[in-house]
Structure 1
Amino acid sequence: MDVPLDAMKDTFSSQAPFLPADAPLKMEPQRLHHMPDRHGRPFRILPTTPSTLWLRRLFVFGSALLLTVFGVYRINKVFNSLGVSTLGVIILILFAILAFWIALSFTSSIGGFFSLLFRGGLGLGVHRSGPLPQLKTKTAVLMPTYNEDPERVLAGLKAIYDSILQTGQIDAFDFFILSDTTNPDVWIQEERAFLAFRQSTQDTTRIFYRRRHKNIDRKAGNLGEWVKRFGAAYEQMLTLDADSVMDGNLIIRVVSAMENHAGVGLIQTLPVIIDGKTLFARMQQFAGRVYGPLIAHGVAWWHGSEGNYWGHNAVIRTRAFAEQAGLPHLKGKPPFGGHILSHDFVEAALIRRGGWAVHMIPGLFGSYEESPPSLTDVAIRDRRWSQGNLQHAKILNTKGMHWVSRVHMLMGIGSYVMSPLWLLFLLFGILISLQARFYHPEYFGSTPTLFPHWPKVDPIGAKHVFIGTMAILLAPKLLSFIAALFNRETLKGTGGVIRLFLSIIIETIIGGLIAPIAMLIQTSGVLSILLGRDSGWNAQNREDGRVSLKEVVHGYWLYTVFGILLAIAAWSVSKALFLWMTPVLIGLALAIPLAALTASRDVGLALRKAGLLLIPEETSPPPILQLAATNDRLRRKAQHAAPHKPSEAFKILLESDELVEAHTAALPPARKAGEEINSHQLVGLLKLKEASSLQQAISSLTRQEKSAVLETAEGISLLKQFHK
């Protein structure tokens, strides 16, 4: 896909502009404290709602509640067998919340198990095989990007393009690269890669590029700006992420389902994690491929027409999105105020609030994404996600929202709040054990009694509660293993029964050891948010770069110290408590070697060579992944063949008159008198005028000044003085 710049000579003049003609579509921020205008659409029961949906929800929530009540009854006997105490009540409340959380996951997975066995997870008339339906409308494929490696991003987008091309229905799609990039060097690389993409496909009428010069409201603002400017020309939009790859057949089937169901506003596919190299990434992709379908089938089974949205790899009805999903700014300052960070849950809730159905179709494969390569990278991403989900607390009282949409948001909040609650449960467990050991009741006080009220831990009952809790936690993995035994493709693709079983054991043990580290990472993230610290917006690391031992020690020594202190506290109370907490203590004590081990590419690839942690997509890659792999090989080969290819913005532009012409044609309108003055632009232009050489210009301008200069025709004209 990487075409030399000189190969593009005399091509741009015959190409279409960077963007098509405007097709504006009205999209306004929703008023969360007012009822929405549903334009006569029904709300409570939509036409695409499964007839037995209420029974499914009764089973999931009712069974989870019964399990919680039983667990609370048993834990009460453990900690309050001789009477009620303050610490005992606190333990009881914490356990009730945590028990309901894991019980709900368990009962949902039971629904997913039967859905998997009976080949469910479809609906809306979608079929896994058979002739592809013929599309009747136009769909825009949207690839937002923010300071990502452009050639890597477009290698994936070209695989999607080629896959759709093979279906014979490429005319039903346009492709948009929607850049919010702030790094000027990456920006010009994007333009170069975009022109190379057009050149390699010989398609100048379906592939477009737009960079926002003011990236307001992050990804949600990026998509919203596109809808307002071009949305009226497209019935649907397929939203992607920078690491997304989707099969053309899957896209055709999902878009057709949208065409055939006028009341559906959004259809979410199930993205499978691929291309993991490090041990951590391979564990993530194995868990996502083996356990993920069970979980996704489960939630789709009881979500019905009140599904959720994960922000990418989904088809959205453009009119529904424009009509209902305009996001307002929340009152107050970040981290809880300002623009809505985790926009996807809210957009799905607002679309459903407006009377449109939101469905998930996990029964079709062909939707893929990548995983961060290490625990450290996940922690950075989770910090942003944690802030976004906690921010949803201010949206829960939105008027007219469906109760299931509120549940989605509560579950999103819970996925991060549960970590500090688990930590509190552990700490209060130690306290109550300490009190039981050192507290001596007074029998002859002002109120003599033969039955003093102090907490006493029942070790036998505690063991039974522990075993029951672990059984519920591990049950989804066992159900996933059983379901895989009935699926020949999955069983073969994961290496057979024995290798699949061993892989589950490896993932469970290492995942269990990592869990307490993740608990503390998430707890610190939640605390920092409550203290008012904003996460910012950073590009995600998608490469498996090596992490030095020094970096690992610096990042994880505190967790090791905490684990040792916790172990000392537990041992000082009783050996039984120490043994009960052993899984947590070992994980924390080994935080440094665990972080280093899981970030290792060598260990990950060694396990792959041994046939462990395999997924079907790597043992027998589907056509779309073969296309993506081919494009990636070509990208790497081109990089190796041109090691001195410039990556700095000024040097890239000076290499090609055609790129300069294309860049200049896409510049924003010049500033008019009375408009806001850009100080970075003024200073940057002055520095450019006074620079005696290209190298001096590059070294003297800041990143903001360089971006501002590149946004003006005057800046490009000044840059040409350095052309040799």
Structure 2
Amino acid sequence: MLTPLPPETPAEMPAQPLWRWDKSAARPSAPPGMRALVRRSALISLTLILAVWASYGMYQVMSVNSLTSLQVLILILFVPNFTWIAFWFVSAILGCIQLLRPQPVLRVPKLAPGTSMILSKRTALLVPTYNEPPHRIYANVQAMYEALQEMGALRSFDFFILSDTTDAAIWLEEEEGFRDLRARTGGEANLFYRHRPENIARKSGNIEDFCRRWGLNYDHMIVLDADSLMTAEAIIRLAATMEIHPEAGVIQSAPQLINGGTLFARLQQFASHAYGPVVAAGLAYWHMGDGNYWGHNAIIRTRAFLESAGLPALPGRAPFGGHILSHDFVEAALMRRKGWKVYMAEEIGGSYEESPPSLIDYAGRDRRWCQGNMQHMAVLPVRGLHWLSRMHLGLGIYGYLASPIWLTFLLVGVLLTLQAFYIRPEYFTSEFQIFPAWPVINPQLAAWLYGITMAVLLGPKILGAMLLMRRRANPAGFGGRWRILIGLFLETLLSSLTAPVMMLIQTSAVFGSLAGRDIGWRTQRRGDDRAPLREIIQRHSGHTFLGVALGVSSYAVSPLLLAWMSPVVLGLVLAIPLSAMGASYRYGQGLARAGLLLTPEESCPHPIIIRSRKIMEELSLKGAPTDDPLKRIATDADLRALHLAMLPAPRARVKGEVNTDLVVAMAKLQQADTLQEAIRFLSAREKLTVLGSKEGIDRLVRLAQARHAAQ
């Protein structure tokens, strides 16, 4: 009989107190030292110098005579947004220095090609999944399993597929896929599957459930996403680095994007490889041991996580109350509070993930992230957090607040223009004023400030491109130096055109989150699953209408106003064709054939990427079953036996607690005379509940048998 899970070793994972903290509860931790002080001082001081310089320049642009109330407002809005881009520009400069003259914080063991190393600790690789295509998950898991096996390191690793799936049909596919995965690999001792009947607290609850039940069996856990893929070398190096750094609680790799087929995905992929290393190196440079956790492609010390990272529900109502949605930042902050170090190991290559295939899929994920980051406002005042942990939370929050601030900045700029055209200026603002106050702006200084702002905004991209152009950076993997420049131009142009749309989407998400609107937990489109044109038109018709209205009204006021607003107007007017082009596999592959937007993983993919794709293609040929899952479980004895063997034990309920979904579903099953009636009566949620109940499955079988007996 198939045994999907190892024996449990129950552990406590107490919810951490947020509003009280005793410093003595933290483990001894070495102070950051002079190097950390110098690096962080450089980051903050250079950012402030740039911000003050630009803000003073903006003040001079506006205050040729005196500031009006609208000019004061536009100056107030300019300061935080310029500080924001200056921060990332300075961080990228520090990253560039780090890449040119490496001064690593972590000792990361190196692996000679084809060799392994002896690991003394055991590590679990966790693959949380929620209604994802099972064949994609199992292809990646099998590729990683085989790679570790080839290197002789499999004895140190186990894989857990942790399903929170709520689609009954996908649940059965997961179980069949798991059975077949074990059959293909012979991995009974290292491959495990668990389906959670109630996905409490979403992904964080999924990981917590593993930790409580099997966490003590493993020294470390590598948390992956459903689209994550890591080379055996990367997995082994992460585990080895954790072993030689006993102070480390989390070591985060820097995943790069792969497998992009659509134009949008390939643009994101190119940006990830071209600019990502500079950004990641900059973060590692000043994070040192006070870094962040991104929720996937990272290794975590299991006992440290159990003791430090139990998440309580936040008091109050949404958006700030309830289960913590963006759990990763908070878990890292709590572990750092407990004295564990959180590192970024950007030098470990071979860590991969995938991009959403289209702008609307990216926006859907971004809305969910926005909701989680807005909730972090309630976490900022938590007692005992390291100041850098608060900074990470604050940066995440401002990353979304920047959009409504930018939008307000643009609107105030329009009002200033309207004021200049339609409102008669007040030349004498004082009773005893001799000379008039002319409402003018310094155009030369304004042009200079615009140039500085664009240089700071595009600085990380320029630095990334410069490093790629160096011979040592192997520009051939990107198609050569000229193709790097063309790719840089295309990515900058198209990302600039889509920026106004993302500004409106993020602004809507911010206000929706603050109003307490929950966007839910939706399955992401993966791979090249193209967004339908009808959906694209529906999502962007409002943006297009707004762009046309803004363009017409701007031109009616002044052609100069239209020229000033043209980047925003053009992006909004072209929202539908740009989004449709981005979602197109044909455009993406056309550029690939021309050698544009290439990445090294496309030009010369790692063997594990090739192997994963091959397995994925083989598994996709089988296709998904078309019959209703209840019909399949009632009529297929082999599938039913597999499902019952993998069914988790019923959760013990407290006295008075009733599973209302099961009660209602069983009542409907009792009323049904045929299997078809039962299928028609039950909702999707009730079907899932019936599949989780042996009693419900028995009733389905009796209905199916009654039909055969009648025939």
The two structures have a TM-score, normalised by structure 2, of: 0.95
| 8 Å contact kept, 1:282–1:613 | yes
| 8 Å contact kept, 1:646–1:652 | no
Give the number of equivalent residue pairs: 704
Letter in 1 for 2:538: H
The counterpart of 1:262, out of the listed 227, 232, 246, is 246
Moved more, 522-531 or 691-700: 691-700
- Residue 482 of structure 1: CA displacement? 1.1
Aligned CA distance change for structure 1 residues 461 and 260 (closer, same or farther; 3 Å): same
Matched, 1:31 2:12: no
Aligned CA distance change for structure 1 residues 204 and 68 (closer, same or farther; 3 Å): same
Structure 2 residue ranges without an equivalent (≥5): none
DSSP 3-state at the match of 1:124: coil
CA distance in 2, matches of 1:665, 1:617: 37
User: 2:541 matched to which residue of 1?
Assistant: 557
- Residue 77 of structure 1: CA displacement? 1.4
User: 1:716 matched to which residue of 2?
Assistant: 697
User: 2:62 matched to which residue of 1?
Assistant: 79
| Equivalences for residues 514-533 of structure 1 within 5 A | 514-533=498-517
| Equivalences for residues 413-452 of structure 1 within 5 A | 413-442=397-426, 447-451=431-435
Letter in 1 for 2:302: T
Letter in 2 for 1:52: R
Aligned CA distance change for structure 1 residues 171 and 455 (closer, same or farther; 3 Å): farther
Aligned CA distance change for structure 1 residues 454 and 568 (closer, same or farther; 3 Å): farther
User: 1:91 matched to which residue of 2?
Assistant: 74
CA distance in 2, matches of 1:592, 1:89: 36
User: 1:8 matched to which residue of 2?
Assistant: none
The counterpart of 1:101, out of the listed 58, 80, 84, is 84
| 8 Å contact kept, 2:540–2:576 | yes
Aligned CA distance change for structure 1 residues 676 and 471 (closer, same or farther; 3 Å): same
CA distance in 2, matches of 1:558, 1:620: 42
| Equivalences for residues 375-524 of structure 1 within 5 A | 375-442=359-426, 447-451=431-435, 455-486=439-470, 488=472, 490-524=474-508
Aligned CA distance change for structure 1 residues 672 and 437 (closer, same or farther; 3 Å): closer
Aligned CA distance change for structure 1 residues 317 and 600 (closer, same or farther; 3 Å): same
User: 2:37 matched to which residue of 1?
Assistant: 54
User: 1:147 matched to which residue of 2?
Assistant: 131
Moved more, 595-604 or 674-683: 674-683
User: 1:631 matched to which residue of 2?
Assistant: 615
CA distance in 2, matches of 1:551, 1:22: 45
| 8 Å contact kept, 2:644–2:694 | no
CA distance in 1, matches of 2:22, 2:210: 23
Letter in 1 for 2:101: F
Matched, 1:701 2:685: no
Aligned CA distance change for structure 1 residues 673 and 260 (closer, same or farther; 3 Å): closer
Please list the CA deviations of residues 155-200 of structure 1 after superposition, one character each: whole Å capped at 9, or x if unmatched.
Answer: 1111111111122011111111111111222112211111111111
User: 1:587 matched to which residue of 2?
Assistant: 571
Letter in 1 for 2:586: D
The counterpart of 1:67, out of the listed 30, 50, 59, is 50
User: 1:111 matched to which residue of 2?
Assistant: 94
Please list the CA deviations of residues 472-512 of structure 1 after superposition, one character each: whole Å capped at 9, or x if unmatched.
Answer: 11111111111112255641111011111111111111111
DSSP 3-state at the match of 1:208: strand
- Residue 253 of structure 1: CA displacement? 0.8
CA distance in 2, matches of 1:87, 1:451: 22
User: 1:4 matched to which residue of 2?
Assistant: none
Letter in 2 for 1:255: A
CA distance in 2, matches of 1:425, 1:612: 35
| Equivalences for residues 209-248 of structure 1 within 5 A | 209-248=193-232
Matched, 1:655 2:636: yes
| 8 Å contact kept, 2:630–2:700 | no
| 8 Å contact kept, 1:192–1:659 | no
DSSP 3-state at the match of 2:381: coil
Letter in 2 for 1:716: I
Matched, 1:288 2:272: yes
| 8 Å contact kept, 1:513–1:584 | yes
Aligned CA distance change for structure 1 residues 148 and 469 (closer, same or farther; 3 Å): same
DSSP 3-state at the match of 1:315: strand
- Residue 452 of structure 1: CA displacement? 5.2
| 8 Å contact kept, 2:468–2:474 | yes
Matched, 1:20 2:1: no
- Residue 120 of structure 1: CA displacement? 5.8
Letter in 1 for 2:221: M
| 8 Å contact kept, 1:18–1:666 | no
The counterpart of 1:668, out of the listed 649, 671, 676, is 649
CA distance in 2, matches of 1:299, 1:68: 20
| 8 Å contact kept, 2:428–2:436 | no
| 8 Å contact kept, 1:443–1:449 | no
Matched, 1:312 2:299: no
CA distance in 2, matches of 1:314, 1:371: 18
User: 1:330 matched to which residue of 2?
Assistant: 314
Letter in 2 for 1:708: T
Q: Which runs of 4+ in 1 moved over 6 A?
A: 670-673
Moved more, 51-60 or 307-316: 51-60
| 8 Å contact kept, 2:26–2:338 | no
Aligned CA distance change for structure 1 residues 106 and 644 (closer, same or farther; 3 Å): closer
| 8 Å contact kept, 2:92–2:279 | yes
- Residue 624 of structure 1: CA displacement? 1.4
- Residue 690 of structure 1: CA displacement? 4.4
Structure 1 residue ranges without an equivalent (≥5): 1-12
Letter in 2 for 1:124: R
Moved more, 553-562 or 447-456: 447-456
DSSP 3-state at the match of 1:52: helix
Aligned CA distance change for structure 1 residues 184 and 445 (closer, same or farther; 3 Å): closer
Letter in 2 for 1:80: S
CA distance in 2, matches of 1:670, 1:320: 27
The counterpart of 1:688, out of the listed 658, 669, 681, is 669
The counterpart of 1:361, out of the listed 335, 345, 364, is 345
* RMSD between superposed Cα atoms in Å: 2.2
The counterpart of 1:340, out of the listed 313, 320, 324, is 324
- Residue 601 of structure 1: CA displacement? 1.1
The two structures have a TM-score, normalised by structure 1, of: 0.93
Letter in 2 for 1:440: R
- Residue 305 of structure 1: CA displacement? 0.4
Please list the CA deviations of residues 78-119 of structure 1 after superposition, one character each: whole Å capped at 9, or x if unmatched.
Answer: 122211221111111111101110000100000111222235
Letter in 1 for 2:405: L
CA distance in 1, matches of 2:500, 2:210: 42
Moved more, 98-107 or 488-497: 488-497
DSSP 3-state at the match of 1:581: helix
| 8 Å contact kept, 1:432–1:455 | no
DSSP 3-state at the match of 1:144: strand
Please list the CA deviations of residues 666-686 of structure 1 after superposition, one character each: whole Å capped at 9, or x if unmatched.
Answer: 342387794422232233224
Please list the CA deviations of residues 532-557 of structure 1 after superposition, one character each: whole Å capped at 9, or x if unmatched.
Answer: 21121111111433334433222212
- Residue 237 of structure 1: CA displacement? 0.5
| 8 Å contact kept, 1:25–1:229 | yes
- Residue 659 of structure 1: CA displacement? 4.6
The counterpart of 2:162, out of the listed 168, 178, 181, is 178
| Equivalences for residues 120-131 of structure 1 within 5 A | 123-127=106-110, 129=112, 131=115
